[in-house]
Amino acid sequence: MIIRNVNELKNTDRSVSDAQWTSVRMLLADDQMGFSFHITYIQAGSEHTFHYKNHFESVWCVSGKGSIEDLETGEVHEIKPGVMYALDKHDKHTVRCEEELVLACCFNPPVTGKEVHREDGSYAAPDEAA
Amino acid sequence: MIIRNVNELKNTDRSVSDAQWTSVRMLLADDQMGFSFHITYIQAGSEHTFHYKNHFESVWCVSGKGSIEDLETGEVHEIKPGVMYALDKHDKHTVRCEEELVLACCFNPPVTGKEVHREDGSYAAPDEAA
């Protein structure tokens, strides 16, 4: 049994930050659960475009306010507490944040923690060099 | 892209209740994400013993107060907002709830939604009759 507290991991190497977001990796590939689980904080006023070509991701909003735009269809959906979006088609998307978002995120395949976002907004597949 | 709101699913067939808990299935096996994702509500004052022999489960506490006992070792861990437990060894466990717990749960393999808890606290494996 693994026990971890997001508040205790915020200042450790399990917390990864980029421009205007921080992601605390609660579970990674080496935990061998078959998925990874992250608590991600997105700063108010920021905008992020991602395209996880090699991963399925679900994101459930714990708190905050924003929106997600499906860049394929142009549809915009509100993000607020209780709302989940799931990128079942590896959907390229833009997240816009009005009030700091706290998000519970699952990735399959699990993120190793060593990925970087590439220019196209994706992470490398597990068997591919980053 | 799938968009769902836990508050809108509470009174639908995606919400499953048993004695003193309710689980809203945000993602199930047929969503083909490779995991399932549930928001689970556990009533204050209740106690639950589970043993997911065929699944890995992670549980992150959104709100509430309780504890988890590892029935193999006897260790007891506090459950409070921000704490995650992950049953990486299919750990048999008892959850005790002091104040209503709201929990974000991931299962691998994904739950189909048709499982019932068996007498031993487990769910059937996907290829096994329930």
Per-domain boundaries in chain B: 14-108
**A10-19, A60-69, B62-71, B81-90: which has the minimum mean pLDDT?**
A10-19
Instruction: Among B3, B68, B82, select the one facing A85 at the smallest CB separation.
Output: B3
Using an 8 Å CB-CB cutoff, list residues of chain A that contact chain B.
1-7, 26-27, 31-35, 37, 39, 56, 58, 60, 62, 68, 70, 75, 77, 82-89, 91, 93, 104, 106, 108-109
What percent of chain A has a predicted confidence (pLDDT) above 90? 83
Which residues, in sequence order, are CB contacts of A58 under 8 Å at separation 6+?
A84, A85, A86, A87, A105, A106, B26, B27, B33, B35, B37
Asked if A86 lies within 8 A of B33 by C-beta distance, the reply is yes
Mean pLDDT of B30-54: 96
Residue A127 has what pLDDT?
A: 75
**Cβ within 8 Å, pair B85-A35:** no
Q: What is the pLDDT of residue B117?
A: 78
CB atoms within 10 A of CB B13: 8
Average pLDDT, chain B: 94
pLDDT for residue B56:
97
Nearest CA in chain A to B73: A1
Shortest distance, CA B51 to any CA of chain A (angstroms): 12
* pLDDT recorded at residue B1: 97
Q: Scanning every residue of chain A, which has its alpha carbon at the shortest distance from the alpha carbon of B10?
A: A82
**A53 token code pair:** 């070509």
Q: Which residues contact B9 (CB under 8 A, 6 or more apart)?
A: B15, B24, B25, B26
Domain B14-108, CATH 2.60.120.10 — does that match? yes
- A130: three-class secondary structure by DSSP: coil
What pLDDT does A126 receive? Answer: 79
A129 has a pLDDT exceeding 60: no
pLDDT tens by residue, A37-48 = 999 999 999 999
Contact B85 A7 (CB under 8 A): no
What pLDDT does residue A49 have?
95
Q: Quick check: B68 and B85 in contact, CB under 8 A? A: yes
Minimum-distance CB partner of A89 among B1, B6, B58: B1
For residue A17, the distance in angstroms to the closest alpha carbon of chain B comes to 19
Q: Do B62 and A58 touch (CB under 8 A)?
A: no
pLDDT in tens, B64-113: 999 999 999 999 999 999 999 999 999 999 999 999 999 999 999 999 98
- The answer, yes or no, to whether residue A130 has pLDDT greater than 60, is no
> Rounded mean pLDDT of A39-59?
96
Which residue, B108, B6, B104, is CA-closest to A105? Answer: B104
**pLDDT recorded at residue B72:** 95
Report the residue from A1, A31, A88 with minimal CB separation from B31: A88
Q: Residue range A12-19: average pLDDT?
A: 90
Mean pLDDT, range B4-30, rounded to an integer: 94
A-B C-beta contacts closer than 8 Å: 130
Alpha-carbon distances, residue A20 vs A45, A74, A119 (angstroms): 9, 24, 17
